[in-house]
A and B are shown apart, each in its own frame.
Chain A
Amino acid sequence: MIKLEGLTKVFKGHNIPAVKDLNLEVNEGDVCVLVGPSGCGKTTTMKMINRLYEPTGGKIYIRGEDALQMDPIKLRLDIGYVIQEIGLFPHMTIYENIATVPNEKQWPKDQVKEKVDNVMSLVGLDPEIFKNRYPSALSGGQRQRVGVARAMVSDPPIMLMDEPFGAVDPITRARLQNEFLRIQERVDKTIVFVTHDIDEAIKMSDTIAVMREGELVQHATPSDLLSAPADEFVSNLVGRNRSIKRLHLIRVSEILEEVDRAPALKEDTKEEEVKKRLDESDIRTVIVVDRDNKLKGVIGVNDLKRKTGEVAGDYFQEVSDTVTDDATLNDALSVMLEIGEGYVAVVNEDEKYQGTITLGDLLNVVREDS
């Protein structure tokens, strides 16, 4: 889909090339993450793909076509572009912001409206609520979603993303990453993604291209990168705790199928049944859900002792945090550490209870791998 051949960029007034003889191929539907320390040439490489920077030497092929021979404006209209600062237009509503590229392409009005509504729903922004707001009225996470929506609205086959989640807090970032992966599963774009955060790289990528001082050091799948770093630079970048990094690679939903844990209790469960289930539980805790299978809370051994009613619904404790089934095991670990428990409840998008995973489950995964 994207092929870079001997790509070189020397900036005016500099002796050392910012990017040197870079060869890289990104397959259709893949997320290729360019990673490396700042100044390694990853952003420069990305900006040459949509020709915000003109290469000094080398070739860029997009679907086999020479991108350097194309009209840069046309080229850019078909490449989604997201940057860390987002660059929303403050004087335009969210609708107008997202409609930028369709309007540049002069799509008919009703088609633009349909596409904008669709893409807003896709990134989790209710069009009715947000359409007519201005960027200044949005939170950081919401703006980032608008940035992604704006890049995706005309359904470009290729997207370039320059640290798109760099400017938000870690919790929001994790959520945005998960959402993005879920969307990507559906839309299957070819994406070049730039980050300096190796954890993000491992989590988001199909392939990782490690760069240093303008050169490509290693291009491999995250799994291969973790198990066989090409040199000391890469292994330093990946770090010593490679096993834990693997937790980035696996989704909660993947291991939920393997762990076979007893179903949750309904609110009307009697004391004896609760007691029995507590004894059987490996985490000495049972989950309580309502009739629609929505998570209500948990009951521990102590809660039962101090019970204030006859049925489970009377004395459960609320849980302070959960993970979604599309989160990675690393996210699950973070939440466990955060709430100080050896387990975490998993819910789906609609907050329906999906199961529970424990610290033990994570240990098993790491053990199996190494």
Chain B
Amino acid sequence: MLRTLWVWIGIPLIMIGIAAAIVIYSVNNPPDSIVARMLTYERVFRVIREHMGLLLVSMTGATIVGVAGGIMLSRPSLYRIGRVMETIVNIGQTVPSLAVLALFYTILGLGFRVAVFALFLYSILPILRNTFAGIDGVEHSIIEAARGMGMRPLRILTRIELPIAFPIIVAGLRTAIVINVGAATLATFIGGGGLGDLIVTGLSVHRDMIIVNGAVIAAITAILLDYLIGKAEERVVRWS
């Protein structure tokens, strides 16, 4: 009980506390007018809200599309395309996120929605790949046993394939989230807002304090989300 409390409340609070301490200190002790202007509670909350917005919307879409796509590609009729897609996705992953953002800026223009869309597309890749690989990796004998016992294909998918692939799908999700939190700091270049506002502003006016605030919040967000998903997965997957 105490351990559960510590794992789910204690550790996250400590992480949030570290970020909060840095923000509170910075806001109350600005070394000059520029830092005072750029680091207000209102502004910090705004960029956090924007960042979470970018993350939440793009990750929700990417998870739905990535998992659904991975499942579809793993079906026998599309399996060949799936193998090809796996390669394409692996290549796609090597394209820097800034390049993806720049590409969508030239096609779609600027703003929050374009940034969300670019992040969405970028985050689909690891989720799609891991879903496909996870299902593809389920041993053939397991599927044969299930079929032989009279399970219908849809039941095999939901009761056998997806649960067995689950840890791999979650691993993809975690990769995507960590990439996404980082890549979302680039949204600021095309007017997408977020924690990147602080980081890039800090860089352009040479004020380390502004950079540190943006970077620390982003890093703690990534670590915390990864940690929480990992812990949640441990609770759900007890068999491996």
Contact = CB atoms under 8 A, between A and B. Distances in A.
Do A and B interact directly, with beta carbons closer than 8 Å? yes
B147 interface: yes
Contacts of A90: 142, 164, 239-240
Given A87-B142, A91-B163, A134 B149 contact: no
Interface stretch (A1-9, A73-81, A206-214, A290-298): A73-81
Contacts of A104: 149-151, 155
B239 A77 contact: no
B145 A81 contact: yes
**Interface secondary structure of A, over-half rule:** mixed
A320 B157 CA distance: 49
A89 B149 CA distance: 12
Interface residues of B, number: 22
Contacts of B239: 90-92, 134, 136
B145 A87 contact: yes
Contact of A73 (B139, B150, B163, B238): B150
In the complex, which of the residues B144, B163, B166, B238 has the most CB atoms of chain A within 10 Å of its own CB atom?
Answer: B144
A149 B238 CA distance: 23
A299 interface: no
B237 interface: yes
A318 interface: no
Contacts of A77: 149-150
Contacts of B240: 90, 136
Nearest to A47: B148
Interface in B146-168: 146-152, 155, 160, 163-164, 166
Contact of B141 (A50, A74, A75, A87): A87
A224 to B, nearest CB: 31
A86 interface: yes
Contacts of A89: 142, 145-146, 160, 164
Interface string B218-240: 00000000000000000001111
Nearest to B238: A134
A88 B144 CA distance: 10
Chain A interface residue bracket vs B: 20 to 34
Nearest to A50: B148
A86 B142 CA distance: 8
A89 B164 CA distance: 8
B152 A73 contact: yes
A245 to B, nearest CB: 31
A150 B238 CA distance: 21
A265 interface: no
B146 A87 contact: yes
In the complex, which of the residues B141, B148, B237 has the most CB atoms of chain A within 10 Å of its own CB atom?
Answer: B148
Given A85-B141, A86-B141, A104-B155, A91 B147 contact: no
Nearest to A97: B145
Given A91-B164, A91-B239, A76 B141 contact: no
Interface string A143-165: 00001001100000000100000
A85 B148 CA distance: 13
A111 to B, nearest CB: 18
A100 B148 contact: no
A204 interface: no
Contacts of B145: 81, 83, 85-89, 147
Contacts of A116: none
B148 A52 contact: yes
Contact of B149 (A85, A92, A100): A100
A85 B138 CA distance: 13
Interface in A157-209: 160
Interface in B114-160: 139, 141-152, 155, 160
The 10 lowest CB-CB distance pairs between A and B, nearest first, are A87-B145, A85-B141, A76-B150, A81-B148, A77-B150, A87-B141, A134-B239, A91-B163, A87-B142, A91-B239
Interface of A: 50, 52, 73-77, 81, 83-92, 100-101, 104, 134, 136, 147, 150-151, 160
Given A85-B141, A91-B166, A136-B240, 11 more contacts: A74-B150, A77-B149, A81-B149, A84-B141, A85-B145, A87-B142, A88-B142, A91-B239, A147-B145, A150-B149, A160-B148
Interface of B: 139, 141-152, 155, 160, 163-164, 166, 237-240
